[in-house]
């Protein structure tokens, strides 16, 4: 007899310890319609662990992905027409995992249909779309959660908890990177070569971390190069980028992204956030389920969540799958909607990060330091 996909061949459950944001009876959980069933397939599987959400619909142009979605979440409605998904009353949250250039229009359509939105990072890759999104949200009063998976990964959640408890003091310097060899990604998603920039596609992780801790960013200075791997795939813009950022507070951060290098996964994690505060330091990692900090005596401590949480975050598949993060931010967002409380990162925060990334692109193109403008949309535009 075939085992349920939530169980290992041993009969033990796949999902172990996890964070909880609340539980509702199945019929009362918020219905999620997923658009873009490649990365969005992960969300369908992730929602098996949810206490506040349930998958009800999926949308993709590719028939094979719609078939796979039905296998992952039997009984959901599937379609190749986004409008049909938006028409469904059981869809209360639309989760968007389509190519970046499509996000702005799909978010606007969801708002106009009266749906809340989860949108994967980068939220958008064209800052000219900011006014239309702010207008659509103001008119509809719908809310958005940016799917910043790194924030919702266990080591980064723990790092934030200690920071908010005051254990790190004031953040003085932040060093964050996302380094990942991307030949497989170019093969999977060739649109990335011509239709976006690694300042948006990859740096969206460490730039978000810098904004999370430093607050508003005042200026950036960036340098970049096209790696041998990037050149092989026809990249015309840098796929290795280093950025210095200065916060409005005067505190500083360094952000690095290299998408063409040869990885040393035992030596350095793909994503790291090294927080250096006035009272302490800490280091969060991805995909390693490890978090390092020190006690009041300077003794280094490490929390290792692999045994307890690998089932939840990876489902014992490829290390680095995003099941746990997706479920975390879906349940987090649902909990805030149900409680009438603000969520983070929301639309405005996500758009502020977009402006930082746009400034990084400008710095790469001009070779100079670029001031980051805050969102300023006139009443006439709204």
Q: What is the CATH number of the domain that holds 129?
A: 3.40.50.720
| Residue 109 included in any domain | yes
Same-domain check for residues 166 and 123: no
| Residue 360 included in any domain | yes
The dihedrals phi and psi of 290, each to the nearest 5 degrees, come to -135, 145
Same-domain check for residues 122 and 214: no
| Residue 188 included in any domain | yes
Same-domain check for residues 133 and 159: no
3-state helix, strand, coil in the chain (%, to 5): 40, 25, 40
Map 323-367 to HEC letters: HHHHHHHHHHHHHHHHHCCCCCCCHHHHHHHHHHHHHHHHHHHHC
pLDDT attached to residue 357: 96
| Residue 336 included in any domain | no
Name 297's Cβ contacts closer than 8 Å, sequence gap at least 6.
none
- Structural domain containing residue 187: 151-305+347-371
Rounded Cα distance between 356 and 220, Å, is 8
Same-domain check for residues 156 and 292: yes
If residue 35 lies in a helix (H) or strand (E), which one and from where to where? strand 30-35
- For the stretch 183-189, contacts whose Cβ atoms lie closer than 8 Å and that sit 24 or more positions apart, written own/partner, are 183/229, 183/233, 185/259, 186/233, 188/38, 189/99
Rounded Cα distance between 36 and 53, Å, is 18
| Residue 339 included in any domain | no
Same-domain check for residues 162 and 278: yes
pLDDT attached to residue 256: 98
For residue 97, give both structure tokens. Answer: 């995992």
Count of domains for the chain:
2
Same-domain check for residues 112 and 77: yes
Same-domain check for residues 218 and 358: yes
Final residue belonging to a domain, choices 130, 149, 168:
149
Name 111's Cβ contacts closer than 8 Å, sequence gap at least 6.
117, 136, 137, 139, 140, 142
Same-domain check for residues 256 and 362: yes
Same-domain check for residues 244 and 145: no
Same-domain check for residues 118 and 172: no
| Residue 314 included in any domain | no
Rounded Cα distance between 252 and 234, Å, is 34
| Residue 341 included in any domain | no
pLDDT attached to residue 1: 41
Q: What is the CATH number of the domain that holds 181?
A: 3.30.360.10
For residue 267, give both structure tokens. Answer: 């030596």
Helix (H, G, I), strand (E, B) or coil at 63: helix
Same-domain check for residues 67 and 188: no
| Residue 319 included in any domain | no
Final residue belonging to a domain, choices 149, 170, 192:
149
The dihedrals phi and psi of 58, each to the nearest 5 degrees, come to -145, 150
Question: Helices marked H in 143-203 — which ranges?
Answer: 154-164, 183-188, 191-195, 198-201
Could you tell me which of 34, 53, 51, 56 has the C-alpha nearest to residue 43? 34
Final residue belonging to a domain, choices 99, 128, 149:
149
pLDDT attached to residue 318: 72
pLDDT attached to residue 378: 44
Same-domain check for residues 130 and 213: no
Helices (H) and strands (E) in the chain, counts: 14, 15
List the pLDDT tens digit at each of the 382 positions of the chain: 455 566 555 555 666 678 889 999 999 999 999 999 999 999 999 999 999 999 999 999 999 999 999 999 999 999 999 999 999 999 999 999 999 999 999 999 999 999 999 999 999 999 999 999 999 999 999 999 999 999 999 999 999 999 999 999 999 999 999 999 999 999 988 888 887 899 999 999 999 999 999 999 999 999 999 999 999 999 999 999 999 999 999 999 999 999 999 999 999 999 999 999 999 999 999 999 999 999 999 999 999 999 889 888 988 677 768 999 999 999 999 999 999 999 999 999 999 999 999 999 999 999 999 999 876 544 335 4
């Amino acid at each position: 007899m075939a085992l349920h996909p939530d169980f290992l061949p041993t009969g033990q459950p796949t999902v172990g310890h996890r964070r909880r944001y609340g539980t509702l009876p199945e019929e009362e959980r918020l219905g999620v319609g997923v658009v873009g069933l490649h990365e969005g397939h992960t969300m369908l599987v992730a929602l098996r662990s949810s206490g506040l959400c349930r998958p009800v619909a999926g949308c993709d142009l590719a028939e094979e992905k719609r078939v796979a979605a039905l296998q992952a979440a039997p009984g959901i409605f599937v379609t190749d027409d986004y409008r049909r998904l938006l028409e469904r009353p059981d869809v209360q949250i639309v989760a968007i995992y389509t190519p970046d250039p499509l996000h702005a229009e799909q978010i606007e359509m969801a708002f106009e249909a009266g749906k809340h939105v989860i949108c994967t990072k980068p939220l958008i890759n064209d800052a000219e779309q900011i006014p239309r999104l702010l207008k659509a949200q103001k008119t509809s009063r719908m809310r958005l959660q940016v799917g910043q998976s790194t924030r919702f990964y266990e080591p980064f959640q723990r790092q934030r908890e200690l920071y908010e408890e005051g254990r790190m003091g004031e953040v003085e310097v932040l060093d964050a990177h996302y380094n990942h060899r991307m030949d497989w990604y170019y093969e999977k998603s060739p649109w990335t070569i011509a239709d976006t920039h690694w300042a948006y596609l990859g740096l969206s992780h460490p730039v978000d971390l810098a904004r999370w801790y430093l607050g508003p960013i005042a200026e950036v200075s960036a340098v970049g190069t096209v790696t041998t791997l990037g050149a092989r795939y026809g990249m015309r813009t840098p796929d290795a980028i280093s950025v210095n950022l200065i916060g409005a507070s005067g505190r500083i951060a360094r952000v690095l992204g290299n998408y063409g290098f040869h990885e040393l996964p035992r030596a350095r994690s793909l994503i790291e956030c090294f927080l250096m505060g006035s009272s302490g330091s800490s280091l969060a990692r991805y995909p390693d389920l490890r978090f390092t900090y020190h006690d009041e005596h300077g003794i280094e401590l490490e929390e290792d969540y692999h045994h307890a949480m690998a089932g939840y975050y990876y489902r014992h598949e490829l290390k680095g799958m995003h099941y746990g993060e997706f479920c975390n931010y879906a349940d987090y967002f649902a909990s805030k909607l149900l409680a009438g409380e603000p969520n983070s990162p929301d639309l405005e925060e996500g758009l502020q990060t977009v402006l930082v990334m746009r400034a990084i692109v400008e710095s790469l193109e001009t070779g100079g330091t670029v001031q980051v403008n805050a969102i300023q949309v006139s009443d006439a535009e709204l």
